C-alpha cells in the first residue's frame, strides 16, 4: 500500500484490490452455499469491484443493476437519495447481495435497503469495496468489507469525481488542490 499514482498517493493497488476481492468472494461463496443469490451492482462506481467479486465467486448467481445517489457533482452527500435506475429482476424469496463501491454517510444504502426489503427477498446484505466509518451519519453497517478508509475523497477503481477518474486501476484520493486543478 504505497506509491504515487497519476493523482495522489495510491491507497490500494490493483493487485491488493483483486487479492481482497478473492477473499471476500470466497466468504460469500461459503455463506451462500446451496442458496439462490442475486448480486445487485450499484452503478456506476461499483462496476470494477462488482466484476472482481463476480469473477472470483464459484457460486452461480443472477445479476442486476441499480443506480441510487445522494451526491450529484458534490464531494459530500446532499442527504436526498434519488433512484435513477431500478433493477428488473424478481427478488422475491431470493437472497440479495448489494455490491457497493463505498459506504460513506450510509444515507443512500440505508434508504436503498429499505426499498429492496419491500420486494420480499429472503435477505438483503451489502458487500462494499470501501468502508468510511468517519463519515457515517446512520447506523448502517456493511456485511462484507474490502477495505477501511479514512475521511478522504476517494477516487479510482470505479469511484469518481464529477464522472471523472473512474478508470484509474488503483484507489487514490483527491486533496482540495487536486479538485481545484480539475
Burial of 110 (0-12, 13-18, 19+ CB in 10 A): middle
The CB density around residue 51, as the number of other CB atoms within 10 Å, is 14
Phi-psi region of 108 (alpha: psi -120 to 50; beta: other; left: phi over 0): alpha
In the annotation, is 52 catalytic?
no
Q: Measuring CA to CA, which residue among 165, 106, 171, 175 is closest to residue 136?
A: 106
φ, ψ of residue 71 to 5 degrees: the values are: -110, -45
Can you point out the beta strands (E) in 13-93?
37-42, 62-69, 82-85
Q: Which of 52, 101, 104, 160 is catalytic?
A: 104
Catalytic residues: 104
Amino acid at each position: 500500500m504505497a506509491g504515487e499514482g497519476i493523482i495522489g498517493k495510491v491507497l490500494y493497488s490493483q493487485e491488493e484490490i483483486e487479492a481482497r476481492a478473492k477473499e471476500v468472494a470466497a466468504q460469500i461463496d461459503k455463506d451462500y452455499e446451496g442458496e439462490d443469490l442475486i448480486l445487485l451492482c450499484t452503478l456506476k462506481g461499483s462496476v470494477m469491484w462488482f466484476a472482481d467479486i463476480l469473477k472470483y465467486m464459484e457460486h452461480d448467481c443472477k445479476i442486476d443493476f441499480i443506480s441510487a445517489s445522494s451526491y450529484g457533482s458534490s464531494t459530500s452527500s446532499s442527504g436526498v437519495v434519488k433512484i435513477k435506475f431500478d433493477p428488473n429482476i424478481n427478488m422475491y424469496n431470493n437472497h440479495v447481495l448489494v455490491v457497493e463501491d463505498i459506504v460513506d454517510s450510509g444515507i443512500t444504502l440505508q434508504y436503498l435497503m429499505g426499498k429492496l426489503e419491500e420486494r420480499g427477498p429472503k435477505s438483503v446484505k451489502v458487500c462494499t469495496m470501501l468502508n468510511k466509518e468517519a463519515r457515517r451519519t446512520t447506523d448502517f453497517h456493511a456485511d462484507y468489507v474490502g477495505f477501511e478508509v479514512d475521511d478522504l475523497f476517494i477516487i479510482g477503481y470505479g469511484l469518481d469525481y464529477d464522472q471523472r477518474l473512474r478508470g484509474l486501476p488503483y484507489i487514490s484520493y483527491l486533496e482540495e488542490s487536486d479538485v481545484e486543478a480539475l
